[in-house]
Amino acid sequence: MSRRTSASSGQGVRVGALRVVSLDLVGPLVVYRICRGAGLPAVWSLVISGGSPGLGVVIDYARWRTLDVVGGVILTGIGLSVVLAVVSGSPRAVLLESAGLTAGFGVLCFASLVRRRPLLFYFIQAFRGGAHSQQGRVLDRLYDVQQGRYYFRTVTKAWGAANLFEAAVLAVVVFHVSTGSALACNRIVPWLVGIPLFIWSYRWGMRLLTDYATSSEEATA
């Protein structure tokens, strides 16, 4: 890798990290405080604060003219927050939306274990380029190997358990702290849970892919 490529990659990581911190973590908290300071009700301050992550989705769409899965989830969450605010008028209901979606994902993870392939297989395949990409086809073959099936089923169970735990924590927080503190937890806790889980899943998966590639080369030699 050239110095220019390495520097460009490093700059991309820094820009991505800055975007996450500014739009996904700090942005909603700042917008919420501004709205509350302007006299808006707490429930609508929460809804408007959710537009900060949505701004990143709009920027990506304007740049690439595509909407990825993450962007779709963010926009769905914003839409659901608006509906909950209109129907209930309760800040607590809007805050519980995040816990509900997280719990739903956890349940889907465990429910998918009875199917031919668990849910995380499809997420990882999408992350690697999709079912029709070269890496996607490699994952198809990897799942036919015992170690591959064990990996995908194990990470699906881990993500399911982690999301159910996260949902429980978020729900408890919503009922026991102020609206502003609950909003902060809603923005921070998913990253505290998701980042270590992603690193663990990614590193294990890369080791598995490397071992699989090596064994395949030896078998065809």
pLDDT tens, N- to C-terminus, the chain (221 residues): 444 444 444 554 466 567 666 777 677 878 888 888 888 888 888 888 878 878 877 877 777 777 655 567 677 777 888 888 888 778 888 888 888 888 988 999 999 999 889 989 988 887 776 667 788 888 888 888 899 999 999 999 999 999 999 999 999 999 998 888 888 888 889 889 999 999 999 999 999 988 888 877 666 65
Do 99 and 59 belong to one domain? no
pLDDT at position 76: 78
Residues 102 and 25 in one domain: no
Domain's final residue, options 89, 121, 152: 89
Q: b/e map of 117-128 (b: 16 or more CB within 10 Å)?
A: bbbbbbbbbebb
Q: How far apart are CA 139 and CA 209, in angstroms?
A: 8
Output the pLDDT for position 81: 81
Do 133 and 175 share a domain, yes or no? yes
Quote the number of domains for the chain: 2
Residues 47 and 112 in one domain: no
Q: What Rg value do the Cα atoms of the chain yield, rounded?
A: 20
Q: Are residues 149 and 203 in the same domain?
A: yes
- Answer yes or no: do 78 and 130 share one domain: no
Q: Are residues 79 and 4 in the same domain?
A: yes
- Identify the domain boundary among 89, 124, 158: 89
Integer CA distances (angstroms), 189 to 163, 168, 210, 214, in order? 11, 11, 32, 38
* In contact, 4 and 22? CB cutoff 8 Å: no
> In angstroms, what CA-CA distances link 142 with 110, 114, 174?
21, 19, 42
Give me 173's structure tokens. Answer: 């927080």
47/68 same-domain check: yes
Q: How far is CA 56 from CA 118, 133, 146, in A?
A: 30, 27, 40
For tokens 């392939």, name the residue: 117
Q: Are residues 12 and 104 in the same domain?
A: no
pLDDT of residue 196: 94
pLDDT reported for residue 6: 46
Same domain, 102 and 128: yes
Do 185 and 100 fall within a single domain?
yes
Give the structural domain span for 33: 1-89
CB-based contacts of 153: which residues, under 8 Å, 6+ apart? 113, 118
Q: Could you give the count of Cα atoms lying within 13 Å of 194 in the half-sphere of its Cβ?
A: 11
pLDDT for the residue 8:
45
User: Are 105 and 77 contained in the same domain?
Assistant: no
Of 37, 71, 89, at which residue does a domain stop? 89
Which of 104, 136, 133, 105 has its CA nearest to residue 121? 136
Half-sphere exposure of 66 (CA within 13 A, CB side): 4
pTM of the entire structure? 0.73
> What is the structure's pLDDT at 159?
96
